[in-house]
């Protein structure tokens, strides 16, 4: 496993980086103007601001038009932030890419601090961030809550925990020609997948102070009903993508994949989605997850739907009485 290591940063001799800022947006007209203005307030000038309106139905396009030629405003296909970001990357004319979400804000010295950390060996810089529902009360830095934050060669640590938030990233565009762009099929985890691919092509640097404010929203992807299915797909894809990794990293990915398929099956049971439950329990069995648990829940998934519903109700009532809440039992 990689251990945290420092970086020796060398000056880029070919001049200042030209930074293209990419902002995907869907129905964020209430926040978009403030996000764009936080880019123009940077102490390091940007080369261009590209905003992709992903079929918004609010006043997003009117807000974009009010900036005139100060920004590049594009119409997206309405198929999610990954495709919108990819579109922005493809039309960008800068040599570095920075990402911002339409409801988030950059602190004024964000880019200036990150540009200082770029070097010939280091083409990826991330930063700490704040997260709350109010920019005037941002709370504390987020990265102290993450266990494996490191810089330099980060693949093994990053595999254990995604400590990089997309609106904090500054990356050399040339690297994306080697790794490919965001994979839209990996819903909710496209950034993690891309960071891991990039970690095999460049050293990473960490701007240690919070340089981004992210708005907290109740509708986060991790709370969406299909999220456990997305996680199983993620670990399946990571195993395929990184099949030549070390034995230690492969063992970890196999374990996470096995666990994610079991958890997806259990999630399907809670939703009374019988075909999906059986499908994921078969995958969990093939992945050698706990055979007794998988066999038990696979049999439960063959009970009549009404019986399953009653058993789940009894289980929730038992958990409420014993634990005082809706604790989940493995």
Tens of pLDDT, residues 52-90:
999 999 999 999 999 999 999 999 999 999 999 999 999
Are residue 166 and residue 253 in the same domain, yes or no?
no
Pair (102, 44) in one structural domain:
yes
What is the predicted pLDDT for the residue at 65?
A: 97
Task: Write the pLDDT tens digit of every residue in 237-271.
Answer: 999 999 999 999 999 999 999 999 999 999 999 99
Same domain as 229, residue 151: no
Residues 169, 176: contact at Cβ < 8 Å?
no
Low-confidence winner among 22-26, 219-223, 268-272 (lowest mean pLDDT):
219-223
Whole-angstrom distance, CA of residue 56 vs CA of residue 29: 9
Final residue in a domain of this structure, among 191, 221, 251: 221
Phi, psi of 37 (to 5 degrees): -65, -30
Report the relative pairing of strands 19-25 and 48-53 from DSSP bridges: parallel
State the DSSP string of 121-136: SEEEEEEEEEEES-TT
- The dihedral region occupied by 71, where left means phi > 0, alpha psi between -120 and 50, and beta the remainder, is beta
Same domain, 211 and 232: no
Q: pTM for this one?
A: 0.89
Burial of 315 (0-12, 13-18, 19+ CB in 10 A): middle
Residue 307 and residue 185 share a domain: no
Same domain, 37 and 172: yes
Nearest to 202 by CA among 175, 183, 177: 175
- Of 274, 238, 278, nearest to 255 by C-alpha is 238
Last-in-domain residue among 169, 193, 221: 221
Q: Are residues 290 and 204 in the same domain?
A: no
Which residue range(s) make up the domain with 70?
19-221
Would residue 124 count as lying in a domain?
yes
- Gap between the Cα atoms of 75 and 53, Å rounded: 5
């Amino acid at each position: 496993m990689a251990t945290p290591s420092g970086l020796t940063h060398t000056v880029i001799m070919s001049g200042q980086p030209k930074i293209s800022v990419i902002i995907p947006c869907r129905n964020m007209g209430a926040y978009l103007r403030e996000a764009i203005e936080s880019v123009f307030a940077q102490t390091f000038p940007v080369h261009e601001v590209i905003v992709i309106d992903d079929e918004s139905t609010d006043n997003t396009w009117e807000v974009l038009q009010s900036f005139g030629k100060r920004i590049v405003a594009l119409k997206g296909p309405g198929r999610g932030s990954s495709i919108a970001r990819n579109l922005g990357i493809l039309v960008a004319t800068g040599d570095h890419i920075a990402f911002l979400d339409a409801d988030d804000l950059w602190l004024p010295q964000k880019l200036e601090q990150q540009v200082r950390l770029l070097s010939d060996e280091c083409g990826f810089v991330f930063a700490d961030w704040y997260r709350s529902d109010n920019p005037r009360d941002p709370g504390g830095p987020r990265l102290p809550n993450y266990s494996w934050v490191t810089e330099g060669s980060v693949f093994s640590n990053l595999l254990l925990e995604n400590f990089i938030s997309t609106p904090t990233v500054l990356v050399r565009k040339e690297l994306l020609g080697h790794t490919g762009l965001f994979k839209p099929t990996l819903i909710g985890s496209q950034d993690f997948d891309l960071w891991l691919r990039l970690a095999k092509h460049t050293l990473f640097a960490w701007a240690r102070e919070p340089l981004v404010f992210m708005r907290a929203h109740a509708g986060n992807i991790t709370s969406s009903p299909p999220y456990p299915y997305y996680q199983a797909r993620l670990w399946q894809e990571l195993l395929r993508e990184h099949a030549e990794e070390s034995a230690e990293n492969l063992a970890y990915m196999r374990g996470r994949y096995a666990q994610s398929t079991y958890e997806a099956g259990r999630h399907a049971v809670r939703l009374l989605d019988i075909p999906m439950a059986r499908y994921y329990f078969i995958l969990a069995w093939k992945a050698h997850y706990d055979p007794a648990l998988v066999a038990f829940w696979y049999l439960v998934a063959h009970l009549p739907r009404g019986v399953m519903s009653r058993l789940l109700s009894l289980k929730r009532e038992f958990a409420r009485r014993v634990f005082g809440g809706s604790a989940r039992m493995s």
